[in-house]
Amino acid sequence: MKLSLFLAALSSTGALAAQCISRRPTLKPMPYSPRVPFPSPPRRSKVCVVKTHGDGVTDDSDSILSAFHECNNGGHVLFPRGETYTIGTAMDWTFLKHIDIDIQGRIQFTNDTTYWQANSFRFIFQNVTSFFKLGGEDVWIYGGGTLDGNGQIWYDTYAADIYTLRPVLVGIDGLKDSVVSDLVMRYSPEYYHFVANSSNVVFNNINIAGASKSKNVAKNTDGWDTYRSQDITIMNSVINNGDDCVSFKPNSTNILVQSLSCNGSHGVSVGSLGQYKGEFDIVESVMVSNISMHNASDGARIKVWPNAPSALSGDLQGGGGSGRVRNITYEDWTIDNVDYAIEITQCYGQSNLTLCQQYPSSLTIEDIVFRRFTGTTSKKYQPLIAAFACSSADVCGNIVASDINVLSPTGTNQAYCLNQNPANLDVECTSTYKGFN
């Protein structure tokens, strides 16, 4: 049906709302298309406008849930431009199906840390919780609006107590054949996206930022973490954060990440893996292409816990798990003021390298490709630009780095190499070690 006929068929109120709805974004994957085609559902036939109290204080959760239920299975939910919505209640959105959610306004979460720690949705990995739980099938979320996690109070609370349970801004559990696009994400208390138990989900044109305004740093603000998910695409986005730009957690497969600009991050990371004893972690078939990495601690990174108990911090410790990392490609990267352009470590969380080698990881790393890297690292580890550190040659194989045109500020391209085949690495291998983790 033509758009004009579609609008004419609606009631006068519905027609007014329909005139204001956003068009679905056009998805342009470059340089690669995902393994599974993008979702392409028909136009939705009903429009539901979400009401708001608009005072920035009163909880609008009931209105949001009401609109979701009314327009589920074939509708278009509209958060109009210029409106502000306040969420103070944890909501389960895993019932959504065949629905467009058009966020043009601003959605903000309350700063009631006591409520959220008691009521947010808990995942089983690394103390992750979320304000809401998004799931379902054929869900399109877009519109150019903003999700604001009101993170400052969380940054300050966590600085006083590292066991504070901080919600992620977008917690996803069991979402499939869906698209999240054209949104602004600000001030998440922890990760911006945690994508669990999901398949064929596309993230496109997301703008992430939210530094602390106090002396207390915004920590663990990963852009995306994938977990037990497959066929996830992340593309065409800008990320300004203080932790991993993207991180592939256990059992992430067939992932495509491309055309990102990352600033201030810890890189695009496989892991951490092998944290939990008795667990078998898998990350495989991952392509990360066309990335610009600025002012970061790492660029392309693979991080695995050793086969011994280790503690990175009081609330982050582990080691002894097994699994595999296989068929990972990082290509066409621009490096700008990054401590390590490339880092592989099987000693994550363990600063004692001797102890790490005494208890080598039981998680294998193989068929890893780094190619076409250019730029300049920071001064932190110069003359080193990279670190390729495996706890044992038995658990690392076929790691190749080619066309690595990255230099330190002093003009060197040395890399720390442990249990590697130097002939496969387009760097000057050295046994000189400079601390990492």
What residues act catalytically?
Answer: 266
Neighbouring CB atoms inside 10 A of 181's CB total 21
CB-based burial, 104-136: b 16+ in 10 Å, e otherwise: bbbbbbbbebeebbeebbebeebebbbbbbbbb
145, 104 Cβ separation under 8 angstroms: yes
Cα separation, 210 vs 201, whole angstroms: 24
Cα separation, 310 vs 352, whole angstroms: 10
Cα separation, 229 vs 320, whole angstroms: 23
Cα separation, 253 vs 270, whole angstroms: 11
Please spell the DSSP secondary structure of 29-72, one letter per residue.
--S---SSPPP-PPPP-EEEEPP---SSSS--HHHHHHHHHHHT
CB-based burial, 137-153: b 16+ in 10 Å, e otherwise: bbbbbbbbbbbbbbbbe
Give me the sign of the Cα torsion angle 372, 375, 380, 383: positive
Q: State the Cα angle at 239 between 163 and 255, rounded to 5°.
A: 90
The amino acid that residue 403 corresponds to is D
What Cα–Cα distance (Å) separates residue 352 from each residue in 305, 312, 382?
Answer: 12, 12, 21
What Cα–Cα distance (Å) separates residue 236 from each residue in 102, 231, 244?
Answer: 19, 17, 17
The amino acid that residue 185 corresponds to is M
